[in-house]
């Protein structure tokens, strides 16, 4: 009899544990996708930062570009880009793939005559506390200095063309 009661309590604990893990995952993602985030002009890309170096390499080597290795907070891959209404737009919307633990995220761009190189970025919470390794995606608006005018939109992390404007 004690064995059956012990098995029953163990099953209840396992179900409770599974439900609490599922609830934690739902809470972790509940802050994601709160509409579109508007990102103004971020700090301009410089040859000294990871994005500036990567964007310059893409412009120079286009179209023979390889993806970057690993995840870098300054070069997060994009899940896609929304097709703009016209070639005269000065704003594009990209979908940034970031960690569910990022407290801030966004996108930045570097423009050339033929390309608009875009990357996502994220800033994680402090190392204290628990964090899940879930991917979240959110739409981010990126302001352009000049109209898209037929330039290609390229993901800096993967090196792939997302759209031709």
59-107 tens-digit pLDDT = 999 999 999 887 777 898 999 999 999 999 999 999 998 888 888 899 9
In residues, how long is the chain?
Answer: 165
Q: Where are the domains of the chain?
A: 1-30, 33-164
- HSE-CB at 81 with a 13 A cutoff on CA atoms is 26
Identify which of 35, 59, 164, 36 has the alpha carbon closest to the alpha carbon of residue 109: 59
Q: Which two tokens stand for residue 150?
A: 């037929």
For residues 136-162, give the mean pLDDT. Answer: 95
Residue 77 near residue 95 (C-beta atoms within 8 A): no
Residue 23's pLDDT is: 38
Give every CB contact of residue 146 below 8 A, 6+ residues apart in sequence: 90, 111
């Amino acid at each position: 009899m004690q064995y059956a009661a012990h098995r029953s309590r163990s099953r209840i604990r396992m179900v409770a544990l599974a439900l609490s893990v599922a609830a934690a995952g739902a809470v972790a993602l509940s802050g994601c996708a709160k509409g579109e985030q508007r990102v103004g002009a971020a700090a301009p890309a410089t040859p000294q930062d990871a994005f500036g170096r990567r964007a310059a390499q893409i412009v120079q080597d286009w179209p023979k570009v390889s993806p970057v290795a690993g995840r870098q907070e300054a070069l997060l891959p994009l899940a896609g880009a929304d097709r703009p209404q016209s070639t005269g737009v000065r704003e594009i919307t990209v979908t940034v793939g970031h960690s569910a633990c990022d407290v801030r995220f966004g996108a930045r761009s570097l423009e050339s005559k033929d390309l608009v190189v875009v990357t996502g970025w994220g800033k994680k919470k402090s190392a204290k506390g628990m964090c899940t390794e879930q991917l979240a995606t959110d739409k981010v608006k990126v302001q352009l200095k000049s109209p898209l005018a037929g330039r290609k939109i390229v993901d800096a992390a993967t090196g792939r063309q997302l759209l031709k404007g």
